[in-house]
């Protein structure tokens, strides 16, 4: 692999300053002052414009299902947001629907496919978020289908393509797989998984949880044509209050909860929330603004890909700095009393998430030590329902999860490394 691909490329200093200025609370806690927030895999930084547009559009009292000027304007906002969901995924056709959370959307999608597509088994992986894994368990048990679970690879921190596809056969009704792990940051090869699974069963329904990956890299459903994919705007620089799913034409047409008079592929229940769609448009506008710094084009998807490519490269450079350090500071790989778990050398296969620990203190104690130094990270431990299955799959008892974002600078990483050395010396 070439050095640019594996070591990344930082944003220029002036662009880095502009990027930071577009987010809320990047360098300061709203109450206590300066801090490093490195828990973006759990929460996430918010764009100022996303918050502003949410408040402005949500304050409008008009019902968008009317025919006067403001109602038509709200309808256009929603249509633009739906178009931008398709920009994010490079999707054509299909349907977009919102729920209160991406987890809720996932349960709805799994139910529609499991209940209405013939087959005796369903396939998923041991690393799935509970919203995907538990939905598969629930409907496999309810419908009397076999649930097949692909094992993890403790070297890569992900799940191998062959480990997943060996479980697929002509009686599989649904394959549900995440795009990236929210513990190791490992990115699964969705394109290869889709191609090899469909070689076994051409009409296989495939669902992807992209919540973790979508803030870190671009996706392309033209190259990996799945039947449903979900994301959470709040983890993608947006706001809380919605989870969004895109469904293929055939998945959208499956029986599902809907008002009788609505079209067969319509999934929204009740009046839409145009403000949430306006947030999606602001997310894409922001990514495209970054893209415009690198390419001169008016095509919205082209700008989006350019923006996400440079977000990815900047984050990879931050990951390299975290792991390897620089001339002034050792990276986590070289620090005494520090362990990096699931440390796969090829950074092109990872999002900006890492799992680490200390030899001198426990995981929860380490998280508290970071907080005392105004750094927010998160412990993944086996007592947590959100962590136990994945940790056991890797033979781990816990980890400190560190998840910065592209609006963090190399100076932020250097500060984190200094504070980590301090904790390691306790």
174 closest CA partner among 143, 214, 129, 218: 143
Higher per-residue pLDDT: 9 or 4: 9
pLDDT digits (tens, 9 = 90+) for 74-87: 999 999 999 999 99
Provide the mean pLDDT of the chain: 96
Tell me, what DSSP letter sits at residue 204? -
Contact 400, 371 (CB under 8 A): no
> If DSSP codes are grouped into helix, strand and coil, which group holds residue 36?
strand
- Rounded percentage of the chain residues whose pLDDT exceeds 70: 99
Residue 210 per-residue DSSP state = -
Written as six digits, the tokens of 102 are: 């991406």
Q: What is the pLDDT of residue 375?
A: 98
pLDDT-derived band at 88 (thresholds 50, 70, 90) equals very high
386: exposed, middle or buried (Cβ count in 10 Å: 0-12, 13-18, 19+):
middle
pLDDT digits (tens, 9 = 90+) for 275-307: 999 999 999 999 999 999 999 999 999 999 999
pLDDT in tens, 115-132: 999 999 999 999 999 999
pTM of the model: 0.96
Using CA atoms, how far apart are residues 25 and 417, in angstroms rounded to an integer?
21
Residue 255: C-alpha distances to residues 206, 265, 267, 341 (Å): 17, 9, 10, 43
Q: Residue 315: which pLDDT band, with cuts at 50, 70 and 90? A: very high
- pLDDT at res. 6: 82
Quick: pLDDT tens for 18-42: 999 999 999 999 888 999 999 999 9
Summarised one tens digit per residue, pLDDT across range 321-358 is: 999 999 999 999 999 999 999 999 999 999 999 999 99
Domains and CATH numbers, the chain: 3-46+302-424 (3.90.1150.10), 52-285 (3.40.640.10)
pLDDT of residue 32: 85
Residues 258-272 have a mean pLDDT of 92
Q: For 166-192, how does the pLDDT look when each residue is reduced to its tens digit (9 = 90+)? A: 999 999 999 999 999 999 999 999 999
Residues 6+ apart with CB under 8 A from 332: 322, 323, 325, 338, 340, 354, 356, 417, 420
Structure confidence by residue, pLDDT tens digits, 189-232: 999 999 999 999 999 999 999 999 999 999 999 999 999 999 99
Residue 393 has pLDDT above 90, yes or no: yes
Q: What sign results for the dihedral spanned by CA atoms 151, 164, 153, 406? A: negative
pLDDT score of 1 more than 50: no
Q: What is the mean pLDDT of residues 137-153?
A: 98
Q: How confident is the model at residue 384 (pLDDT cuts 50, 70, 90)?
A: confident
Kindly state the tokens that stand for 229: 């994919």
CA 70 – CA 51 distance, rounded (Å) = 21
Phi, psi of 264 (to 5 degrees): -60, -25
pLDDT of 4 above 90: no
* CA distances for 49 relative to 55, 196, 279, angstroms: 10, 41, 8
Tell me the pLDDT band of 2, cut-offs 50, 70 and 90: low
């Amino acid at each position: 692999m070439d050095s640019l691909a594996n070591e990344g490329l930082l944003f220029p200093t002036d662009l880095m300053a502009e990027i930071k200025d577009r987010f809320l609370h990047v360098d300061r806690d709203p109450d206590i002052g300066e801090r490093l927030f490195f828990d973006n895999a759990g929460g996430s930084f918010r764009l100022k414009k996303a918050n502003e547009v949410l408040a402005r559009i949500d304050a409008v009292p008009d019902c968008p299902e009317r025919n006067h000027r403001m109602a038509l304007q709200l309808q256009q906002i929603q249509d633009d947001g739906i178009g931008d969901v398709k920009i994010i995924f490079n999707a054509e056709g299909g349907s977009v629907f919102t729920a209160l959370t991406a987890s809720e959307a996932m349960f709805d999608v799994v139910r529609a496919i499991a209940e209405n597509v013939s087959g005796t088994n369903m396939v998923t992986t041991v690393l799935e978020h509970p919203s995907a894994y538990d939905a598969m368990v629930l409907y496999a048990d309810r419908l009397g289908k076999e649930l097949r679970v692909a094992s993890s690879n403790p070297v890569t921190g992900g799940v191998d393509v062959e480990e997943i596809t060996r479980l697929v056969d002509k009686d599989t009704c649904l394959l549900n797989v995440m795009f990236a792990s929210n513990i190791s940051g490992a990115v699964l090869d969705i394109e290869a998984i889709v191609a090899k699974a469909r070689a076994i069963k051409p009409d296989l329904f495939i669902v992807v949880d992209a919540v973790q990956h979508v803030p870190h890299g671009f996706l392309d459903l033209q190259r990996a044509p799945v039947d449903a994919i979900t994301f959470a705007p709040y983890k993608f620089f947006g706001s809380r209050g919605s989870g969004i799913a895109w469904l293929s034409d055939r998945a959208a047409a499956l029986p599902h909860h809907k008002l009788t008079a609505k079209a067969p592929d319509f999934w929204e229940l009740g009046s839409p929330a145009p403000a949430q769609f306006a947030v999606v448009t602001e997310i894409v506008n922001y990514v495209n603004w970054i893209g415009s710094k690198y390419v001169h084009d008016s095509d919205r998807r082209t700008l989006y890909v350019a923006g996400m490519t440079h977000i990815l490269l900047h984050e990879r450079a931050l990951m390299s700095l975290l792991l390897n350090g620089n001339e002034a500071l050792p990276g986590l790989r070289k620090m005494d009393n520090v362990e990096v778990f699931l440390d796969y050398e090829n950074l092109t296969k990872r999002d900006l998430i890492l799992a680490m620990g200390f030899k001198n203190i426990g995981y929860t104690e380490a998280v508290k030590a970071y907080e005392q130094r105004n750094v927010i990270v998160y412990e993944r431990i086996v007592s947590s329902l959100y962590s136990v299955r994945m940790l056991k799959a890797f033979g781990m008892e816990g980890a400190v999860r560190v998840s910065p974002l592209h609006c963090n600078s190399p100076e932020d990483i250097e500060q984190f490394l200094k504070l980590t050395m301090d904790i390691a010396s306790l």
